[in-house]
Amino acid sequence: MAHTEDQTMRRVLRREIAGTIGLLTDEHDFRAMRRYRSFTFDDHTTYLKQVEALLKTRAAQGNHTTVALFDPQEYAEYCTDSGLDPDIASSRTRFTAELATTGPTVPYEGQSLSDLVPALVDEAVRQATWEYATTLLARLGACASCGEDIGRAAYTNASHLLARILETAPPGNRHLVCSVSATPETLVSVLHADDDIDGATQLDEAEALEFTTVLALGIATQSPGGLVMRTSAPGSSDRIYGWRLRGDGLAPLTAGEVFDAYCTDVENGDLISPESDVDYCEPPDIGGEAPGSGHHH
């Protein structure tokens, strides 16, 4: 009787344990892990099917699972730094546990892997973009003239500008894209801002942090770049408008400039037919920068 009760209690406790699975999302990473003899999978497609089956089983048992992006190179470096043997399963488990707190992750909520994998890759790109932009902002240091932290001032200004953009936008769902020309490649950040049933704007905090940081980098370095927004609401045409980065702020694009940007093939310069039920227009006045938020030296 006591043995049966112990088994029942252990089953109950297993439902209280959150799990993390490190996922090899592409064939290249999968092949890199096959050099370890203890990694016994030999086909990436079969591996993905088994992972999906495991996720479904855990969900059916009431267990919460987080899926993390498993990078073989980062794993090898982790094992070297930690003095672990990379060719044993326990090392992979420890690395995966580390990913749960520091790496890009997506919760499994019953979605197919065909939906989960792109979301996980997008999350990895978002995190890498934020880390890179944050590093560049921190390297700017303090102004030699006044001692003000250039990156912090730019972030404050970017936060104010984003708030004004959302405040002046028409009601509905908003899709914002900010791009900043940086070395070695252009940084692009996306932010979704949707209205709830009460009309309040809902933002993903991680998305908003990354978006503001990228915008701040463009402002602080006065790099070429821009910000465009598409708003959608039932019963009305979508509206697209935007700004270019200029100095410590944003300069509005004309309706013609927005139209040209969306209706020109970037590869060959050919015209592209405009979308139906879409208005390419000038943005509303968002006012100036926040008092004391810009750095003008």
Q: Which tens digit of pLDDT belongs to each residue from 70-126?
A: 999 999 999 999 999 999 999 999 999 999 888 889 999 999 999 999 999 999 999
How would residue 3 be classed by pLDDT, with cut points 50, 70 and 90? low
Mean pLDDT, residues 47-72 taken together: 91
Tell me the pTM: 0.79
Residue 207 has pLDDT above 80, yes or no: yes
Residue 160 has pLDDT above 90, yes or no: yes
Mean pLDDT, residues 120-138 taken together: 91
Mean pLDDT, residues 113-140 taken together: 91
The confidence score (pLDDT) of residue 194 equals 86
Mean pLDDT, residues 127-148 taken together: 87
The confidence score (pLDDT) of residue 144 equals 76
- Per-chain mean pLDDT for the chain: 87
Amino acid at 279: D
pLDDT in tens, 170-199: 888 999 999 999 777 889 999 999 877 777
